[in-house]
Structure 1
């Protein structure tokens, strides 16, 4: 089963979000992109894979020791070869940092997407762990934020996300793909990209763009 997940993740990572979006639209599946505020730490990052979800909450009365116990407990449970997507229900602190990023990288986690913040971004970029977030903050989670639900349905930007769904994220944005249709979406996207290459080749050889569009049905 893991080999199948990896194969799909690697094929998806060879796609790009614009083509995946177009395929989903043609299939009648709308509203599968996260907010344009979600940006990669490294602009050249492309991240794809099977999703593992986490959510948490902010409370300034939390015990510092307990917050770190729960955070490190989450890190311990983070599954390899997955993309973690976090709904922190908070926009006050950073929900990813230096030691956590290196831990997840060593565990074989493909990357981390959070509807919240990140710190130690320079270090994270240098070690090569792929993170997409909405903002940066030096403030950490100690004594005020904790992950409390793993592997359950979350909602980000009005999109329902479940563990077992797939995600593709690049410099243009983040697209969520239902796990039940991911292979179909990837196959159709690969076909779209092949046709786009034919259109590109035709245009570069001097074919009028409208003629190329009418011949291949794509632009």
Structure 2
């Protein structure tokens, strides 16, 4: 494990999971980080899934000249290296194959990995949803990576949809989308998001009690 993820901060991840992506986005935008969301095509297999945690990055490449044995060696290396309580984010540089499957999902779940986000595909989606492993992907396909795709780099910076992601950053993914929080501001962003949620509750209480919506907005500065 490299210095980028020396110690997973479970408490921050758990606090982040109690938030929602829209509120986190609003805080990031106000702090001068308006472009931290991944493509709206990356969707959860289970629409009720919410995934948060510290990021472990993986990238790879398509190459149909590869030996099946070699691709599986690199793939199982990824399964072995991903830290417990991390969220794997993969840039496969490929939009044809499934970059997650049932046995791999079951392995990662057993090893305590929180979930998997990929700028690519997934297969065996019914099984993965049934066991409760959280996967966010762009599409599903029966095609797997054997002999055609290799996991090439671990814990190296990646980019998805113009968002730069490094191991140690934080992520919150839910049914609305995926938001990346740079590691150096994660604690501040989470604290500010928690404040936003408290204020939203005050606004909601006022509205439900009959307060005029514009008056409630002017009173609390949030809507």
Q: TM-score, normalised by structure 1?
A: 0.98
Give the alignment partner of residue 205 of structure 1, picking from 206, 209, 218. Answer: 209
Structure 1 position 75, deviation (Å): 0.6
Structure 1 position 10, deviation (Å): 0.2
Aligned residue for 1:147, secondary structure, equals strand
Q: Find the counterpart in structure 1 of residue 3 from structure 2.
A: none
Structure 1 position 30, deviation (Å): 1.7
Are 1:142 and 2:146 counterparts? Answer: yes
Aligned ranges for residues 66-81 of structure 1 at < 5 Å? 66-81=70-85
Which region of structure 1 is more displaced relative to structure 2, 71-80 or 159-168?
Answer: 71-80
Q: What 5-or-longer segments of structure 2 have no aligned partner?
A: 1-5
Structure 1 position 208, deviation (Å): 0.4
Q: Find the counterpart in structure 2 of residue 14 from structure 1.
A: 18
How many angstroms apart in 1 are the aligned matches of 2:212 and 2:169? Answer: 40
Structure 1 position 28, deviation (Å): 1.1
Structure 1 position 2, deviation (Å): 3.9
Are 1:195 and 2:208 counterparts? Answer: no
User: CA offsets per residue over residues 163-184 of structure 1, 9 Å max, x none?
Assistant: 0100000000000000000000
How many angstroms apart in 2 are the aligned matches of 1:131 and 1:85? Answer: 10
Aligned residue for 2:152, secondary structure, equals strand
How many angstroms apart in 2 are the aligned matches of 1:154 and 1:29? Answer: 18
How many angstroms apart in 2 are the aligned matches of 1:28 and 1:151? Answer: 26
Aligned length: 218
Aligned residue for 1:112, secondary structure, equals strand
Are 1:31 and 2:35 counterparts? Answer: yes
Aligned residue for 2:168, secondary structure, equals coil
Q: Find the counterpart in structure 2 of residue 56 from structure 1.
A: 60
Are 1:83 and 2:82 counterparts? Answer: no
TM-align CA RMSD: 0.8
Aligned residue for 1:93, secondary structure, equals coil
Q: Find the counterpart in structure 2 of residue 159 from structure 1.
A: 163
Q: What 5-or-longer segments of structure 1 have no aligned partner?
A: none
User: CA offsets per residue over residues 59-83 of structure 1, 9 Å max, x none?
Assistant: 1111011111111111111110100
Structure 1 position 15, deviation (Å): 0.2
* Runs of 4+ residues over 2 Å off in structure 1: none
How many angstroms apart in 2 are the aligned matches of 1:17 and 1:147? Answer: 29
Q: TM-score, normalised by structure 2?
A: 0.97
Q: Find the counterpart in structure 1 of residue 100 from structure 2.
A: 96
